[in-house]
Amino acid sequence: MGLRLKFNLVLIAVFLIGFAATGWISRQLLQENARDEVIRNARLMMDTALSVRAYTVDQVKPHLDEKLIEVFLPQTVPAYAATETMAAVQKKYPGYGYKEATLNPTNPRNRVTDWEADIVQQFRQDKGTLELISERSGATGRLLYIAKPIQISNAACLACHSVPAAAPASMIKLYGEANGFGWKHNEIIGAQVVTVPMEVPILNADRALKTFLISLAGVFGLVFVVLNLMLSWLIVRPIRKMSQAADQVSTGNFDVPEFDERGRDEVAVLGGAFNRMRRSLDKAMQMIERGE
């Protein structure tokens, strides 16, 4: 096995180990960054919904309370306002979702699905949990969701949701008496759930990883070629010439030219040592031939 082959095998082995380790670490970092990006988008949606709810309670509903006696206006309900606003956003960004998932909602569209019911039950069982972040599979692929509990902390909400008799007649006329009643103060009756697709950030992360690994392989290929040229020019060729010269000298041929001793590297030092050995051996052979 030649020196060049040994060098290349070691170089390739080191590269493959480094390539695998770098690829794995880079993939983990890119995937984490992609997930953090999705979480930021989900939090932005959640904060937007919370802002719409607060705006509706503070600045919209007080101006319409008198009209609620005659006709019920869903626009004054924070959950309705937030859901409608986010629905407009979803038209431009399909795959994104917002829902005020409720166990016993007044508006049927807010009724929980099976997986949403599990989230609400987690909040009800552990009232210290203020937020849940997890992933699930959807029709469009991987989805990340953030959920916050909906708790009846304001006793004023019970005016419309305690018993049908206490609710505004206009609301009963619109939604009926079957749903949205029996709520209790401080009870967790649902969860705000924001869902954000992970497909695009994950694909971007995979694309970045692929580009990085291809670039890394390209750099290695270039370094591999350059190192082999340097190895051939600076080490293999001089050593091969010395080997051939040593073979000639060993058979008594001292006419081989001396090696260039310029430089301070190991090859130049070896060449100088070989020249001195050849001269000494030549003088020794001449003395033997003269019988000295």
Domain boundaries, the chain: 38-197
Determine contact, residues 224/11, Cβ cutoff 8 Å. Answer: yes
pLDDT for residue 148: 93
pLDDT for residue 61: 76
Count CB atoms within 10 A of the CB of residue 133.
13
DSSP symbols for 108-159: GGGB--HHHHHHHHHHHH-TT---EEEEEEETTEEEEEEEEEEE---GGGHH
Look up residue 155 and give its amino acid.
A
Token pair 């699905």 is found at 113
pLDDT for residue 258: 67
CATH of domain 38-197: 3.30.450
Give the C-alpha separation, 70 to 65, whole Å: 10
Q: Could you read off the pLDDT tens digit of each residue along the chain, which spans 292 residues? A: 677 778 888 888 999 999 999 999 999 999 999 999 999 989 999 999 989 988 888 888 777 767 666 777 777 788 888 888 888 888 888 888 899 898 888 888 889 899 999 999 999 998 888 999 998 887 778 889 999 998 888 767 776 777 777 777 777 777 777 788 888 888 898 999 999 998 888 889 999 999 999 999 999 999 988 888 887 777 777 777 777 777 777 766 666 676 666 666 677 777 777 777 777 776 777 777 666 5
Give the C-alpha separation, 151 to 81, whole Å: 18
Give the C-alpha separation, 137 to 70, whole Å: 45
- Which pTM was predicted? 0.71
